[in-house]
């Protein structure tokens, strides 16, 4: 059975205790898990990795059937799940387990996925898709945060905070928490304070890297790649930042295609473009079309999937991709 993420608190976990969460939005998944964990606060949480279970599924089943995970209610979370976990789950799905909630946490599952298909079609099981947040959703989340703590902040500064989080809700929550501890007993926060608080060098440099790449400044792109010690752990953030900026650029390109006026396109942009970024965005609009940037978005999604399969070489793969897009002769 398919549900929306906000509907999970309506569930009767005595009936629906097998839940599939699939998609990229790990931040929203964490929030949802925390919410229903609080609702079932007497339950203990146990976390597994799919690989760990596949290597010793007998032990996993024994822990459940023998009662070590079966006392007083438990929440079992299986991370990094794929269709490979299905044969391990099937014996459990067929049984009437009443005091264990099992959460299968997966990345993107295609419609042909057997795991996704089973959970969507069976009314006893719950399937929830966690899609990436839109910029508008993250802006609203940030506005509500400042409203709740009664701090005055301009819409432009809210956009600075959101833009520096590369479309990642979890990262945004961390930055807002950092701001919360800073603004105690204050009534207002200024842009300079936000820049200092959220100025994680890696993230700021990644933003700059993608900006110069999209503006076809190959020399500056090479310099940033050479001067910064990006690691394998930065790979996904680089891709997400590239995706986020490419999607924003696509919206601007669609507007520009209609009104044919660069300045008007920039002035009417929603969310507003920070004044310091207008010149580089103008350059990006001159070098791309809706069709070519759509191709980049498509390739970035493929790239993320491939990198998760072979992360050991991820940084070299991403660097080559970025360099290829920074060339004035390459638009897709």
- 3-class DSSP state for residue 66? coil
Segments of the chain scoring below 70 in pLDDT: 13-14, 65-72, 98, 184-185, 196, 198-204, 229, 233, 275, 311-312, 330-332
Q: Which fold has domain 135-197?
A: Helicase, Ruva Protein; domain 3 (1.10.8)
Separation CA 57–CA 75 (nearest Å)? 18
Domain ranges of the chain: 2-129, 135-197, 206-326
Render pLDDT for 278-296 as a digit per residue (tens, 0 to 9): 889 999 999 999 999 999 9
Cα dist. 81→78, 95, 106, 243, 259 in Å?
6, 21, 5, 24, 46
CB 21 within 8 A of CB 103: yes
Residues 34, 149 contacting (CB under 8 angstroms): no
Which residue bears the tokens 């493929």? 302
Are the CB atoms for 327 and 219 separated by under 8 Å?
A: no
User: H-helix or E-strand containing 162?
Assistant: helix 155-163
At 284 the pLDDT is: 93
CA 283, 169, 176 angle in degrees (round to 5)? 95
Q: Is 206-326 assigned to CATH 1.20.272? A: yes
32: nearest Cα among 190, 204, 219, 170 = 170
Per-residue pLDDT at 169: 87
2-129, CATH topology level: Rossmann fold (3.40.50)
């Amino acid at each position: 059975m398919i549900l929306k993420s906000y509907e999970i608190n309506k569930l009767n976990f005595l009936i629906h205790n097998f839940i599939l969460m699939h998609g990229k939005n790990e931040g929203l998944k964490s929030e949802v898990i925390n919410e229903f964990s609080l609702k079932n606060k007497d339950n203990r949480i146990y976390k597994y990795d799919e690989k760990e279970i596949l290597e010793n599924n007998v032990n996993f089943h024994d822990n459940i059937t023998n009662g070590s995970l079966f006392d007083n209610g438990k929440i079992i979370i299986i991370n990094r799940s794929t269709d490979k976990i299905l044969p391990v789950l099937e014996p459990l799905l067929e049984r009437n387990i009443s005091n264990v909630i099992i959460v299968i946490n997966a990345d993107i599952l295609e419609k042909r996925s057997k795991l996704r298909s089973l959970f969507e079609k069976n009314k006893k099981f719950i399937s929830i898709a966690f899609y990436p947040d839109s910029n508008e959703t993250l802006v609203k989340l940030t506005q509500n945060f400042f409203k709740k703590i009664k701090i005055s902040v301009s819409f432009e500064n809210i956009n600075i905070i959101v833009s520096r989080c590369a479309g990642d809700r979890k990262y945004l929550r961390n930055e807002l928490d950092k701001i919360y501890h800073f603004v105690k007993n204050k009534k207002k926060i200024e842009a300079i304070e936000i820049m200092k608080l959220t100025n994680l060098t890696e993230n700021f440099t990644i933003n700059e890297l993608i900006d110069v790449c999209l503006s076809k400044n190959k020399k500056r792109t090479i310099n940033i790649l050479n001067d910064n010690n990006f690691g394998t752990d930065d790979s996904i953030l680089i891709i997400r930042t590239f995706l986020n900026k490419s999607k924003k650029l696509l919206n601007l390109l669609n507007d520009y295609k209609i009104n044919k006026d660069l300045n008007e396109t920039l002035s009417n942009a929603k969310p507003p473009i920070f004044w310091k970024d207008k010149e580089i965005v103008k350059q990006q609009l001159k070098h791309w079309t809706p069709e070519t940037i759509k191709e980049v978005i498509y390739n970035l999604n493929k790239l993320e999937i491939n990198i998760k399969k072979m992360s050991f070489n991820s940084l070299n793969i991403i660097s080559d991709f970025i360099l290829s897009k920074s060339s004035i002769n390459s638009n897709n």
